[in-house]
Structure 1
Amino acid sequence: MTDYLEMTDSQSSYQDVPDSALYSHEAEYALIGSMIQHPDLIDDAGGKLSVGDFHHPACAELFEVISALRSRGRAVDVVTICEARPYLADRQSSLAVAGLLVQNTPSAANFDEYGRIVKQRSVARRVIAAARIMSQRLIDGEPLDDVLSQGQQAWVSLEAEGLDSRRRYRFIKDILPEAIDGVDRRFNRTESLGFDTGLPSLDEFIPGICPGHVLVVAGTPGSGKTTLGLGIAERVAIVQNQPALVFSLEMTDVELVNRSLSSVGGVQLKRISEGHSMADDDWPRLTSAVNKLMDSPLIICDDSSLTLRDIRQICRTVKREHGLAFVGLDYIGLVNGDNKSASRYEVVTEISKGLKRLAKELAVPIVVLAQLNRGPSNRTNKRPTKSDLRDSGQIEADADVVILVHRDGESDAGKAGVTELIIDKNRHGPTGTCRVQHQGAYHRFVELIGNPYPSEDEVEIGRPLASKYKGRRGDEKF
């Protein structure tokens, strides 16, 4: 379609460019015409668009004049526009141009759609410009990591700008039907609130690990935080058959798979690692575990050099190509920062904030493993609290749920594997403590059978009273 606004020779190149994914002059004309016809639309456009969003220079200039008139509280029509600026930069009469736009505007009722088209085309142009800048910086010899880091920030910003602002807020009347439908589906058990942990005593505190939530599992080295986090991921992938992505910055993927084989099959990890000590009845269990894991969408990344940018990119790729329902990170203290000069506190703070944003963006729960500082070991009461989280208090602030894994290695109960799971923060439910059995040989947690608060003598595995309270035997987990 030929432009109906005259252009100067210096702008003649526009005439040779057809409407495309990069601009729509018709939408720009209609938008300006609608604003002149109905000045009450100006404020709405001003909140979404800027002068730089317009490709046609005459439209950009008219938008600037109209916005300025509105901000000064003056009336907006073709006469006031001409009074404010008789001629445009290309020497066309602003009165004639504005009148032509008003006359040819199809319908001001479609104003929102015109604005959406103009904004999206603007973002598309800036995406190309950003790509060209990145290419030139690489050609100029700048480090790839620096270019990618700044490029990633540019993409996120442009992606946010490309969203329809109407999608960023909703009236409660529009949300209520969705909420009530969710209650109805859960009442009829056609939908669950989120993923369960596989530990009923823990699920009493956390009715579901929900999309967009961040669940922090923290503990000292050897407490079992990796076992708990991996166990939840296994349950999502095997029982729910949903894609679960696990980032392991501490162990290799083979080490994690061996743990899963032990946990799922009920085969002692020591025997799997040694190989030669496998017993006859271990092989069927191992075969069963292999079959279950082979058919499960459990995805593992063991790159120890990951940054938040890498994690975000991998998550997006997995979701696009395979779907994604769950993310686990072991553990946040090992994630590298993009800013080499920042302190560790600053790095972890930014990573924590980024993980929370990522959970909401991808609509998946993220289970983040974290270390505790030495605070509990210096106290008479060794039980940790959420304030003992290491590196940054932002981890606690961003978490929807904080679970502290605590096992008193000096008590008989602790030596027997009895472990406290302390729910010290829970935005959507109660806080409290439950006790579970850590089966170290199989690297998994199971329920304690019997009294949830037994005495130390009663829970010690191998003693006469222990059979009343011990966890399940080393059989298959799922």
Structure 2
Amino acid sequence: MNHDDYLDEPAPSCLHSHDAEYALIGCMIHQPDLIDDTGSRLEVSDFHHPACGELYEVLRAMRAKGLEIDVVTLSDVRARLADGQSTLAVAAQLVQSTPSAANFAAYARIVKQRSVARKVIAAAHVMSQALEDGAPLEQVLAQGQQAWVALEAEGLDVSRRYRLVRDILPEAIDGIDKRFNREVALGFDTGLRDLDGFIPGICPGHMVVIAGEPGSGKTTLGLNIAERVALHSKATALVFSIEMTDVELVNRSLASVGGVQLQHISEGHSMTDGDWPGLATAVSRLDGAPLVICDDASLTLRDIRQIARTVKREHGLGLIAVDYVGLIKGEGRATPRHEQVAEISKGIKRLAKELGVPILVLAQLNRGPKQRANKRPTKSDLRESGQLEADADVVVLVHRDGESEAGQAGVTELIVDKNRHGKTGFCRVQHQGAYHRFVDLIGYMPSDEEVEMGRPFAGRQYGKGRAAA
């Protein structure tokens, strides 16, 4: 091929632009600093024209070694290209045809977008061939979804992945002004006054771990918060329940919202005349609530991501709750369970930021608290993986001492043991087990041990609570 042909664009195509590739290489020879800008967004494989890809590879290698770059030094490193053409002649022609590097970003964007388009077609061919070869539909769809997510991220304009502080300040000040005037809230509240004192808002992008021993009420707390988001904030709350069925969860919501004992709802025949009005009220409120439940017991993180993206696209999305992380299936090769949970935890944190919603992650504790005199858990007691503790923005531990009089009356400690954006500490709430809900505690009389430890307290009426309005 004569070097003059390098500037001849073949038949127009939406899958490549040799003109953009020529101009991009010319810009980098003109202004070598631009090679650094392409390093995070372009690979050699993104170039459709073989010679452009080869020149880009040589330019990156020279830049990495700190070599001076122009048409002569480029030719000195590689005299001829793979097709036999003179590197000096080709490079000189490209530089001559690119008078300015002003439109470098536009050229790079065109090259990247056309590259992603080609990869989309290639991925579709792979999926099509897999289906023709008899691969299970579920497997092919899962692989396809993973490919689409990766390609979507790859096609983003890199310049949009960071911003100068001067570009962020107007948005930050506008948010402060709106919150000051109470036009918007920082995040979702929990409906529990004292807990909200520690967590002024469950914010988009945050990962909140709610952990406790079996039967402590972690599922109740997670579902209560999801109900709160759906009923009071009118935002879609998506609940993944791997342990219980969707009907069981709805029964719990009916009990919580309607103030009807769950046992009466479950049995049916024990419903009293006083229960029916509460049940009717709960049905009316929940019927119009944007509360979405998925009870698939075989969920993987990939499934959670796919369903969450679908719900956000079709219904909007305010919050996700996952009950519970220890039951999410691992993917890929067989690895120790703690490594699987670590990967799941990191994936959930990424998903929260990707979707711009908070994610409540319910988790179990190990047996560490039982070995302590006060039986109070800490965040280091999270079961199976310390990665949960590392990834979480907030860790709330649900603790109720079943051997104490207060614990038997439902008094429960919510221990905020990690809080990236606020203070740590604990508060007490009332667990109304019959209705499967937590409410504010009206008063509590501490034990002598707690008085000696200097813990704050008020009132003498433990065992009584007030439901959130």
Instruction: Give the TM-score taking structure 2 as reference length.
Output: 0.89
Contact conserved, 1:25 with 1:55, CA < 8 A, in 2?
yes
1:392 aligns with 2:385: yes
Q: Of the candidates 323, 330, 333, which is equivalent to residue 330 of structure 1?
A: 323
1:255 aligns with 2:254: no
Instruction: Write the letter of the residue equivalent to 2:20.
Output: A
1:44-443, aligned counterparts within 5 Å?
Answer: 44-105=37-98, 107-141=100-134, 153-339=146-332, 341-443=334-436
Distance 2:461 2:41 in 1: 67
Instruction: Write the letter of the residue equivalent to 1:322.
Output: H
CA deviation string 1:371-428 (max 9, x = no partner): 1122222332112111222121211121111111111112221111111111111111
Distance 1:78 1:382 in 2: 73
Distance 1:45 1:425 in 2: 39
Work out the percentage of aligned pairs sharing the same amino acid: 70
Distance 1:243-1:73 versus aligned 2 partners, 3 A rule: same
Displacement after TM superposition at 1:32 (Å): 1.6
Displacement after TM superposition at 1:178 (Å): 2.4
CA deviation string 1:281-315 (max 9, x = no partner): 32222122111111111000000110111111111
Displacement after TM superposition at 1:471 (Å): 1.0
Contact conserved, 2:311 with 2:317, CA < 8 A, in 1?
yes
**What is the root-mean-square deviation of aligned Cα atoms in Å?**
2.8
Contact conserved, 2:406 with 2:463, CA < 8 A, in 1?
no
Contact conserved, 1:435 with 1:453, CA < 8 A, in 2?
no
Distance 2:61 2:54 in 1: 11
- In the other structure, the counterpart of 1:462 is none
Structure 1 runs not aligned, ≥5 long: 457-464
- Identify which range, 203-212 or 408-417, moves more after superposition: 408-417
Displacement after TM superposition at 1:200 (Å): 0.5
Distance 2:138 2:446 in 1: 54
1:19 aligns with 2:13: yes
Contact conserved, 1:149 with 1:338, CA < 8 A, in 2?
no
Displacement after TM superposition at 1:195 (Å): 0.5
- In the other structure, the counterpart of 2:5 is 6
Instruction: Write the letter of the residue equivalent to 2:384.
Output: D
Contact conserved, 2:409 with 2:463, CA < 8 A, in 1?
no
- Identify which range, 123-132 or 98-107, moves more after superposition: 98-107
Distance 1:346-1:62 versus aligned 2 partners, 3 A rule: closer
Contact conserved, 2:441 with 2:462, CA < 8 A, in 1?
no
Distance 2:462 2:355 in 1: 44
Distance 1:39 1:127 in 2: 31
Displacement after TM superposition at 1:344 (Å): 1.8
Instruction: Write the letter of the residue equivalent to 2:10.
Output: Q
Instruction: Write the letter of the residue equivalent to 1:382.
Output: K
Q: Name the SS for the 2:266 alignment partner.
A: helix
Distance 1:122 1:59 in 2: 13
CA deviation string 1:56-113 (max 9, x = no partner): 1232233234334444544433444445545444444444443443343374211012
Distance 2:162 2:396 in 1: 32
CA deviation string 1:184-218 (max 9, x = no partner): 22112112111000001100011111111111111
Q: Name the SS for the 2:397 alignment partner.
A: strand
Q: Name the SS for the 1:430 alignment partner.
A: coil
Distance 1:207 1:96 in 2: 65
Contact conserved, 2:211 with 2:396, CA < 8 A, in 1?
yes
Distance 1:67 1:231 in 2: 55
Instruction: Write the letter of the residue equivalent to 1:211.
Output: P
Instruction: Write the letter of the residue equivalent to 1:178.
Output: E
Distance 1:70-1:390 versus aligned 2 partners, 3 A rule: closer
Distance 2:88 2:199 in 1: 65
Distance 1:106 1:259 in 2: 70
- In the other structure, the counterpart of 1:460 is none
Displacement after TM superposition at 1:133 (Å): 3.0
Q: Name the SS for the 1:303 alignment partner.
A: coil
Count of paired positions: 458
Distance 1:115 1:75 in 2: 22
Distance 1:469-1:337 versus aligned 2 partners, 3 A rule: closer
Displacement after TM superposition at 1:135 (Å): 3.7
Distance 2:73 2:114 in 1: 29
Instruction: Write the letter of the residue equivalent to 1:6.
Output: D
Q: Name the SS for the 1:263 alignment partner.
A: helix
Displacement after TM superposition at 1:143 (Å): 6.0
Distance 2:373 2:301 in 1: 37
Instruction: Give the TM-score taking structure 1 as reference length.
Output: 0.88
